[in-house]
Amino acid sequence: MIEQFDYWEDADAVMAALAADPSMSGVLEAVNRTLARIAEDPFDRRLGTIPFMTPELGGINATPVRYDDWYIFWQRGEKPSLLDIVLVEQLDVGREL
């Protein structure tokens, strides 16, 4: 079980922006619900997490929030009970402009 999340600066800024905007309350609620599920078991297959590698950051996981294409990007922290929240972002993959 995860005891603590460590938010990177970009993720922290997005969370603050979501909290400050009443029209985004549904997204914030969904993100918080997903974080609670990640805290229970970050590798639960039911989360739909997608692992991938980046040259800059190494192994990253993207967990869908299941609300309007929002994702939580995270990686393991320095301790087993810690996860780094790298970014919280809405993806527009596959949408026509």
Query: Which pLDDT tens digit goes with each residue over 22-70?
Result: 999 999 999 999 999 999 999 999 999 999 999 999 999 999 999 989 9
The domain segmentation of the chain, as residue ranges, is 4-90
Statement: the pTM of the whole predicted model exceeds 0.95: no
Structure-block tokens of residue 88: 């919280």
Q: Which CATH architecture has domain 4-90?
A: 2-Layer Sandwich (3.30)
User: Cα separation of 73 and 62, whole Å?
Assistant: 4
CB 34 within 8 Å of CB 63:
yes
Q: Give 85's strand partners.
A: 7, 74
The answer for 84, left when phi > 0, alpha when psi is -120 to 50, beta otherwise, is beta
